[in-house]
Amino acid sequence: AFAYGPTGSGKTFSIAGRPDSIIKNGSGDATDGLVMRSIESLFEKIRNLQREGLQFKVRASCVEIYNESVIDLIKFSRASKDCHALPVKFDTARASFFVHELSYCKCPTEEDLLRLYMRTLRNRSVAGHQLNRDSSRSHALFTVYVDSMIKGEDGHITTRHGKMTFVDLAGSERLKESKSEGTTLRETGSLN
């Protein structure tokens, strides 16, 4: 899922909903974002498939791209003194890019995954300006990885891998309208 648009258009709300309602209100609340609805649906499917003998492992990662640096939001917050940018590398064997030393968190339950997501939301870089008092100052990618395993009649275990990535881009801004200054002005240059 990919949310993009101008600042203040509701991208983060569409993806995250209201963070304070993620654990408190449960499913069905009108403020549930795409992440919460997807996680609820995922774990409902997992519960149904477990009855058929499948086993599952769920884990997640979350990064923000802030001022052109990749930050692991599971390990660090914007206020962390030991926060450092992670390098993006290319894996020639898989012909794909990856974030070196990215942390992954095991999430055996729906609540574990939602609590992790809430933590990463709190760690994300935000600031206020004329157009949006809670403006995301970074691009965020929250990825859920799902491995399913089933034992065949011959005893062989078949494993399948899947993932969902929720991308919340910081909004594009017009400096003239946002009246950004100082750090927020520098961040705007990296965002646009």
Give the mean pLDDT of 85-107. Answer: 94
pLDDT band at 128 (very low <50, low <70, confident <90, very high): very low
Q: CB atoms < 10 A from the CB of 134, how many? A: 10
Kindly tell me if the per-residue pLDDT of 177 is higher than 60.
no
**Residue 54 contacts residue 150 (beta carbons within 8 Å):** yes
Condensed to tens digits (0 to 9), the pLDDT of residues 31-84 reads: 788 999 999 999 999 999 999 989 999 999 999 988 888 989 998 866 666 778
Secondary element (H or E) of residue 157:
strand 157-168
How does DSSP classify residue 9?
A: S
pLDDT for 178 = 44
pLDDT for 130 = 44
Is the pTM higher than 0.95? The answer reads no
